């Protein structure tokens, strides 16, 4: 699985410091709730019916033991001893205090996790087959492709303020275990006419208040064209 470089870790820590300052200014009254809300949403922090909820990104649903233990520690120390795994492979803590968010984010950063782009109108966590790498019907490991898309979409200036949230799934197996056709973009690994691997591209799917099944936009996309094609779409 992907390991952050030092500069990437530094970026995450800088982002935590920035959000900690924003929280302090909110608590002091310097920032109004209207001004603070988009800032907290950019850091995965919602205010829900009963309490704040922090959504942690788990890129393509892959966790190592250190990360899982860190999530468990956070649940014990800062929540009620549990969290909720979501259908899009994130983890939500539902009883978080605003004042404790910076400490939680630092614990997450120690194991290469964060809550950036888990809310707001941006490209969200890219999901993949939960059995990727171990599925009998796998044609291609979807995780490196999901990681490529994660790096491409994270802090992408053109896609940080979209009209609405945007979701991408990648499936490299014959069976779809990603709900591919209920994503804004679904990428299915297929063999092209000359036998080379590439992506079948599905677009326009979604859930929520206006659910709809995605339509196939392209039967075969060469992998080297993936990022430029998605940018253009």
Partner 1 sequence: MKLITANHLKTGRVIYYQANPAGWTKDPEAATAFHDEVAEAQLDALERAPGDALGPYLIPLSNKGLGGQKWRRESLRHRGPSAGTTLRLHEEPR
Interface with partner 1 (CB under 8 A) = 26-27, 33, 47-52, 77-80, 82, 95-99
Comparing CB distances to partner 1, the nearer of 49 and 134 is 49
Of 54, 66, 159, the closest CA to residue 98 belongs to: 54
Which CB sits closer to partner 1, 49 or 136?
Answer: 49
- Tell me the C-alpha distance between 19 and 102, whole Å: 7
* Residue 9 or 86 with smaller CB distance to partner 1: 86
Helix, strand, or coil here: 7? helix
CB of 23 to partner 1, least distance (A): 10
Q: Smallest distance from the beta carbon of 94 to partner 1, in angstroms?
A: 8
What is the nearest approach in angstroms of partner 1 to the Cβ of residue 75?
10
Using the minimum distance from each CB to partner 1, give the nearer residue, 101 or 169. Answer: 101
What span, in angstroms and rounded, lies between the C-alpha atoms of 228 and 211?
A: 27
How far out from the chain centre does Cα 130 lie?
14
Residue pair 61/134 in contact (Cβ under 8 Å)? The answer is: no
CB of 43 to partner 1, least distance (A): 15
Q: Which residue, 99 or 231, is less far from partner 1 as judged by CB?
A: 99
In sequence order, which residues have a C-beta less than 8 Å from that of residue 224 and are 6 or more positions away? none
Shortest CB 88 distance to partner 1, Å:
19
Evaluate whether 182 touches 213 at the Cβ level (below 8 Å): yes
Cβ proximity of 67 and 59 under 8 Å = no
Rounded to a whole number of angstroms, the minimum distance from the CB of residue 66 to partner 1 is: 23
User: Is 71 in contact with 134 (CB distance < 8 Å)?
Assistant: no
Run of H or E including 187:
strand 185-191
Whichever of 22 and 188 has its CB closer to partner 1, that residue is 22
């Amino acid at each position: 699985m992907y390991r952050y470089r030092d500069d990437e870790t530094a970026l995450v820590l800088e982002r935590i410091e920035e959000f900690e300052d924003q929280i302090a200014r909110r608590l002091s009254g310097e920032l109004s709730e209207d001004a603070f809300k988009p800032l907290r949403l950019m850091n995965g922090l919602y205010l829900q019916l009963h309490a704040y909820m922090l959504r942690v990104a788990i890129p393509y649903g892959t966790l190592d033991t250190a990360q899982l233990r860190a999530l468990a520690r956070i649940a014990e120390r800062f929540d009620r001893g549990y969290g909720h795994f979501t259908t899009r492979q994130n983890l939500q803590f539902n009883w978080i205090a605003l004042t404790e968010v910076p400490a939680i984010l630092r614990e997450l950063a120690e194991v290469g996790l964060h809550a950036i782009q888990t809310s707001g109108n941006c490209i969200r966590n890219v999901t993949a087959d939960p059995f990727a790498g171990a599925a009998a019907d796998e044609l291609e490991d979807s995780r490196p492709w999901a990681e490529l898309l994660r790096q491409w979409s994270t802090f992408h200036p053109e896609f940080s303020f979209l009209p609405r949230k945007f979701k991408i799934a990648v499936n490299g197996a014959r069976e779809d275990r990603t709900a591919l056709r209920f994503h804004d973009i679904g990428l299915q690994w297929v063999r092209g006419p000359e036998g080379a691997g590439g992506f079948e591209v599905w677009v326009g799917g979604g859930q929520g208040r206006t659910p709809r099944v995605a339509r196939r936009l392209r039967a075969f996309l060469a992998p080297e064209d993936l990022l430029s094609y998605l940018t253009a779409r």
